[in-house]
Amino acid sequence: MDNKCLATATFVKEVDDLFDSFDGVTCSPDHGKLLRRHLTSTSKHMEYGRSAVYKIKTWTFLNKESEPMCPPPSQTSWLITIGAAKHVWKKFLETRNLN
């Protein structure tokens, strides 16, 4: 792949993983996608969430002149969504309550 495309490809993969982590409809990974499943005590969602927060905070969007732009609202919203999921999981969805 051309190096010019690498940043975009990496970003698209990160966003795809984010959507997968909140779109699990089965108990096991869907089509080999480890995050596209229910959040469980054995799934990789919480581990992934920690690394995703770091990545999202480092996103930089550029305008046509390759100058940094203000972060879009979606960047902040992803951070809020991940934080809320962690909070709800800790407070209300402990595995002992699900058994």
Report field, pTM of the whole predicted structure over 0.85: no
C-alpha separations of 21 from 1, 11, 12, 62, 74 in Å = 26, 15, 14, 26, 16
The share of the chain scoring above pLDDT 70, in percent, equals 88
- Tell me what pLDDT residue 97 has: 42
Could you tell me the pLDDT band of residue 91, with boundaries at 50, 70 and 90?
low
Q: What's the pLDDT at 16? A: 93
Tell me the DSSP string of the chain: --HHHHHHHHHHHHHHHHHHHT---SSS-BTTBTTSS---SSSSHHHHHHHHHHHHHH---B-TTS-B-PPPHHHHHHHHHHHHHHHHHHHH--HHHH-
Residue 24 has pLDDT above 80, yes or no: no
**pLDDT per position as a tens digit, 57-85:** 999 999 999 999 999 999 999 999 888 88
